Structure 1
Amino acid sequence: MSKNKKNIKNNFEQKKELKVTQLNSSENKFILKIEKTYFIIILGFIVAVYLQVINFTFTGFDDDFLIVNNMQNLMNARFIDVFAGNSFLSDAVSGFYRPIQTITFITDAQIGSGALWIFHLTNLILFYLSSLLVYRLLRIFDFSSVISLIATLILTVHPLFNLNVAWLPSRGDLLLAAFGLASFIQFITYLEKKKTINLIFHFVLLLFAFLSKETAIVLPLLMFSYSLIFRKKIFTKEILTSIPFWVVAYLVWGYLRFTYSGSLPQNQIFGIIPFLENLKTIPEYISKFILPINLMSLPVFSWVTTIIGIVFIAIFIFLYIKNKNEIKNNLYSKILLFEIFWFVLFVLPGMLYSRFYPKSEMFYHYLDHRAYLPMIGFIIALLILINPIIQKIDTKKIFKFGIIITVILSLYSFLHVKTFASPDTFLSDAIKDNPKASVVYFLRGNFWKDSGDLEKALNDYSRSISIDKNYAEAYNNRGSIYGLLGEYQKSIEDLNKAIKLEPNIPDGYFNRAIAKDALGDFKGAIIDFTESLKITPNDYLNYYLRANCFSKFGDLQKSLEDYNKSISLNPRFADAYNNRGIVLYKLNEKNAACSDWQTATKLGSSQAKQMLEKYCSNP
């Protein structure tokens, strides 16, 4: 037998030591039932807790511009558009490259004709697949089927991860978990069986993970550390064979990401400063997992949660010291070391990133959905630390106790996940947790505005401004609400402040132009529409409204030019055809005018139909 084979055999012999309980025949039969039905049990808990999210809408936090307001782009997009351009199909996002995530959004939009329930269903399916992979990983580490099932169920129903299921933009993390875990399992299989097909599957899944979310770039480090810890060699034959595949994955991802994603916005930074400020993320995740209280929709650091987490970390260190003799002489020590590395490796990328807002308060410090992958490593490490206790308990008692914990967590999650049912519930809960967050009032104001409740929108924008006097976007949106309410002078006052605070603010000049137009200041409106077009040069509505102002101002030729431009940008814009027909008629081009009214009528314009009947003898 070769030395390499002997090492593998010794490794498997060590794995045999990792038994949680001594089993009798009755327990063996019970465990056999678990092994045959675990996937049904996991599915049952997911359905019981999370099926309700099918009826949820959206939260108003990122999912509005990624999905809801981006639905038309998603429904008309081709997959190739996602890879060779803005991977989100939205100008509202830059600095990230997640084409696989957007491809799943495109698929949902086109299959479901824009219905949100299918987006939620896809999240549920991905979460279920991730749970099955977690169970598989635990079994690979030779935990019993009972322990593996209970640990998987706790991760599955834990309220800390409600955001992963109910918040649609967490799709990237779900894809990362599914592809990342599957890739890792294939890598372990390749190390043991040395089959090229497993290496190929590992590479393909790894590349998919890379293209799902940036955190995946740490996965090759995870594979390398696994080989180093369990094989005690830096460069084995399998690692040397794997490295070229990893390099290709990095090169493909790097080329696409830096070619098409652009740079991070000014309010988003990456580096050592965010890392130092986010150190409290580690104890807060641990605290919320062990004692799931003080859960927030948009978490901000809490000294209470941080201190509780530090206490738990101290307890775990004590457990290690107490049981180190049992741990250090067998496979437990390797697994414990690897899972601690796992936890740190997956929590680190989120700590290196932060958003900074030019506001008087912090919007949020971290998001709970990022905890899912790190906490897989944490729960495995925790199982090692409490194993001396588990070994003294009967298998069926462990199962019953675990199910009780799972049911309690399920009931908690069943109620807590309702927070994510709509923008109203989600953002109102965030305001309750952080009443000084001007951004959250702003987001809820956006929801009320889109829902047509202008008074509530006005109140929330005003609350946002009362917290932050320099919030340009809030002034802009409140100004637009005043315009919709017919209070044009107040609208202009707010928009003047918005433009002064942020001269290139989107829609600032546009909204002010509408207010000036309503007050009869056509010249001023034309000037503002022109400034707006410098910011958004391909806005067909901007050209259309400026054309209307030129027409009212008496400059029919410039009006005609703007209608032409508006129609070229949106050939199915009925109002533009109708109004261009009116201008053409005034310019004594009756045939051209009638042609435009015919087109507008076909596109659904009732006014154009009236113009045809009145001015065109042969409609």
Structure 2
Amino acid sequence: MGEKMFTAQGFLWHLKNNKWLQISLLIILPILVYIQCVKFDYTNFDDNGIIQQKFDIVGDIKKIDTAYKVDAFFNKNGDFYRPVQNITFMLDAQVSRDKLWMFHISNLVIHILTGIALYFFLLLLQPSRLVAFSLALLFSIHPLFASGVGWVPSRGDILIGLLGVLLFITFHHQIVKKSVVYFFLHSLTFLIILFTKETTILFPLLLIFYYFLVINPLPNHKKIMYHSLRLLPYLVVWAAATIFFFMMRSNVVANTGATADVLGIIPFFKNNTVVPTIIGKFFFPNNLSTFPLYNNFDTIIGSVFLIAIVFITIYFSAKKQWAVLLGLLWFLFFAVPPTIYRLQNADTFFNYLEHRTYLPMIGIVIILSFFLNEALKFSGAKKIFAAVYIPVLIVFGILAVRHAGDYKNSFTVRDRAAKLDNPSGLSGRAGEYLKKGDTLNALIDINKAIALNNKDATMYFERGKIMSKTQKHEEAEQNFTLALELQPNFADALLARSVEKRFLKKYEGAFRDVFRAATLDSTNPKVYNTFGNLFIEVKNYAEAVNSFSKSIKLQPKFADVYNNRAYASILLNDFKSAITDCHTALALMEKKPSPIVYNNLGHAYRELNIYDSAFYYFDKAIYLNKKFSQAYFERGIAKQKVNDLKGACNDWYESYSLGYSDTLKLSEKYCR
């Protein structure tokens, strides 16, 4: 048989019958598709809020008990309770700290284990080894699940996929083998899966169905009592775990303020196309998106396949092969309940997320395993299957590689959605262009986003930021006003408009906007930072320092505020405090120091007559930004103080050529 392995026929024979070769491929192919994810950066789509901004908790393993006391974003209260997900993130952080490579490796390992577990679970349902392997392999490289591996916050959904399959495997083996070990493993798995995501509370219903209609098909009435008693230990474990879960959850998810438009029957009816849509994308993974919206094509395709799935289920159920019905129930139990939640801006952001299809689609795979197992019994079917399956596998693999790449960083996530004319994707990409200083493309994107959706306050807010960046302060103010007309309690828009009013010297209106923002969000450090900058503008430097201090108290790692307080301290002639704040700001900025901080340091050291340090920091500021007009101006003053009048004049001339008008008087006085 060893020689036979090295022929094409021999390899196919092994591929069909060799369990270890099949498992090897279930490991190797997903690695080939998703290994790229290990190098992916933050997408700024939940991952930064969960990991980066909460790293004081995530990175400290001594705070692991915190995971049970907070929501999915490590906040004290919220709509979602995900302690197991939180713990896995904390464990990852012990390896790669706030870098994401370990988080992505964990997602990939979970996904690979899910494919292997699904393979063994399908074998328990008794399709052939070839069918179990083929479908498990297809699942493991399916492009619909690329978000599950490529996007770190999808951890909970892929984890319940793995745990859900293990729940059935341990249940099956305990019932068949009557092993206490499997009972313990099943109980532990159920407890873990409950604390991973709430929708898994429905698993006991599927397990009861599995027991009475799959493991013990329709036992006669005389044995109903026997089987019910046999299930009693499970019922006790399931009930106890569920009660414990809700007791713990009630401390976090309580009075979160979700309205009827966000949670309940209204969102359910608005999400009525989610079932055919995700089925359509499973069979025809076209236009996969990071921010998916409903479209007629996916709904129509999905409706056709849904009818086919229902027909297959009825066909096999009539033959008392109840595991097919289990598959349909599995799909519906985990695809439908999430539709009771819907974002208020769902139609312009996302109607659903593709990683949420991970668990439900296992039900579809179960149904397909019976259909395929039956179809392959016909003469010549295996040749047709090979001719279709292999190209599909290749195409799906390529699509999975491409779609996983959409989660590479914050730009690619938004770029993919923008290419599909998603308004929020366009708005987000505009923001990414703005970060790069590309205001032209940013404006093109945001104008297109507003044309597609002119009722979203965030769109005008983003356009206001672009106008501000291009120094068009009146237009920026107008856009922030439009945002506030649509969303009067938009605190960030109030703060942004206040900044524009400051530039336009509308100080009374600027203060009024900040005060209003403070009433809406008094714990927002940006409020007091904005106050501080306003107080500097009206020359109340002591109150500016006080405001910046309040901001720092709320957010001790707010680097820009330390720098702002340093500048206010300089204006108060408190140069030593300014130096301390500047060094704190630089420490927080790590690898991305701001030239403004170096300029402030140079200014402070100059006023203390420590000129070597002053020149050192002015030089660093100009090195980082060759067009930093104020740094040339300040360095010129330092040179004039050490009697280097020629050097001072050169710096002032450069500063003036860059648009810094304050240099004119000094140039006229000293540089004739």
- TM-score (norm: length of structure 2): 0.69
Distance 2:253 2:372 in 1: 45
| Match runs of 1:151-170 below 5 Å | 151-170=135-154
Q: Structure 1 residues 209, 283: CA separation in 2 closer, same or farther (over 3 Å shift)?
A: same
Letter in 1 for 2:520: N
Unmatched 5+ residue regions in structure 2?
Answer: 1-8, 447-460, 465-478, 586-600, 612-672
- Which of 219, 230, 246 is the aligned partner of 1:254? 246
Shift of 1:84: 4.6
The answer (yes or no) to whether the contact 1:176–1:209 under 8 Å persists in 2 is yes
CA contact (8 A) 1:194 1:238 kept: no
Between the aligned partners of 2:508 and 2:121, the Cα distance in structure 1 is 60
Q: Which residue of 1 aligns with 2:93?
A: 109
1:344 aligns with 2:324: no
Separation in 1, partners of 2:116, 2:550:
51
Q: Contact between 2:498 and 2:513, CA under 8 Å: does it hold in 1?
A: no
1:88 CA displacement: 4.4
302-311 vs 135-144, greater mean Cα deviation: 302-311
Matched position secondary structure for 2:413: helix
Cα distance per residue 1:186-211 (max 9 Å; x no partner):
01111111222111100101111111
Contact 2:72–2:86 (CA<8 Å) still a contact in 1?
A: yes
What's the CA shift for 1:60? 1.8
For residue 137 of structure 1, the aligned residue among 121, 125, 128 is 121
2:404 matched residue in structure 1: 417
SS of 2:290's partner is coil
Pair 491,179 (structure 1): closer, same or farther in 2 beyond 3 Å? farther
2:307 equivalent to 1:314: yes
Query: Does residue 219 in structure 1 map to residue 207 in structure 2?
Result: no
Matches within 5 A, 1:329-340: 329-331=319-321, 334-340=322-328
How has the CA–CA distance of structure 1 residues 424 and 474 changed in structure 2, closer, same or farther, with 3 Å as cutoff? farther
- Deviation per CA, 1:431-461: give whole Å up to 9, x if none: 2324433xx4565566567x57485898565
* Partner residue in 2 for 1:382: 368
Instruction: Let me know the Cα RMSD of the aligned residues.
Output: 4.3
Give the Cα–Cα distance (whole angstroms) in 1 for the partners of residues 274 and 584 of structure 2.
Answer: 58
Q: How does 1:456-495 map to 2 (within 5 A)?
A: 459=443, 461-463=461-463, 470=486, 472=490, 475=493, 478=496, 487=503
Q: Please list, as runs of the form range in 1=range in 2, the aligned pairs for 1:361-400 lying within 5 A after superposition.
A: 362-385=348-371, 387-392=373-378, 393=380, 395=382, 398-399=385-386
Cα distance between partner residues in 1 of 2:525 and 2:442: 17
SS at match of 2:287: coil
Please give the alpha-carbon distance, in whole angstroms, between the structure 2 residues aligned to 1:196 and 1:289. Answer: 38
Per the alignment, do residues 349 and 517 of structure 1 end up closer, same or farther by CA in structure 2, a change over 3 Å counting?
Answer: same
**Structure 2 residue 341 is matched with structure 1 residue 353:** yes
Please state whether the residue corresponding to 2:342 is helix, strand or coil: strand
1:575 is aligned to 581
> Are the structure 2 counterparts of residues 209 and 541 from structure 1 closer, same or farther at C-alpha, using a change threshold of 3 Å?
closer
Counterpart for residue 109 of structure 2: 125
User: Aligned residue pairs: how many?
Assistant: 540
Task: Please say which of residues 219-228 and 25-34 is displaced more in the overlay.
Answer: 25-34
User: How much identity, in percent, do the aligned residues show?
Assistant: 23
- Equivalents in 1 of 2:161, 2:138: separation in Å? 16
Unaligned runs of 5+ in 1: 1-24, 564-572, 580-603, 615-619
Which of residues 269, 275, 289 is equivalent to 2:268? 275
Q: Secondary structure at the match of 2:520?
A: coil
Moved more, 382-391 or 237-246: 382-391
Compute the displacement of 1:312 (Å).
2.1
Residues 1:96 and 2:80 aligned together:
yes
Kindly state the Cα deviation for residue 370 of structure 1 after the two structures are TM-superposed.
Answer: 0.8
Contact 2:132–2:369, Cα closer than 8 Å, also in 1? no
1:310-356: CA deviation from partner (whole Å, max 9, x where unpaired): 122233445567xx3x652343xx01111111111111231122222
Instruction: Identify the residue that residue 328 of structure 1 maps to in structure 2.
Output: 318
Residues 562 and 582 in structure 2, CA contact (< 8 A), matched pair in contact too: yes
Shift of 1:269: 3.4
Structure-2 change in CA distance of 1:88 and 1:156 (3 Å): same
In the TM superposition, residue 309 of structure 1 has moved relative to its aligned partner by: 1.4
1:177 and 2:156 equivalent? no
Higher RCO by CA contacts (8 Å cutoff, separation 6 or greater): 1
Residue equivalent to 1:294: 287
Distance in structure 2 (CA, Å) of the matches to 1:412 and 1:347: 23
Structure 1 residue 516 and structure 2 residue 531: aligned?
A: no
Measure, in 2, the Cα distance between the counterparts of 1:387 and 1:228.
Answer: 23
Distance 1:37 1:541, change over 3 A: closer
Do the aligned partners of 1:475 and 1:494 also contact (CA within 8 Å) in 2? no
CA contact (8 A) 2:533 2:544 kept: no
Contact 1:42–1:131, Cα closer than 8 Å, also in 2: yes
Aligned pair in 2 of structure 1 residues 342, 491: CA closer, same or farther (>3 Å)?
Answer: farther
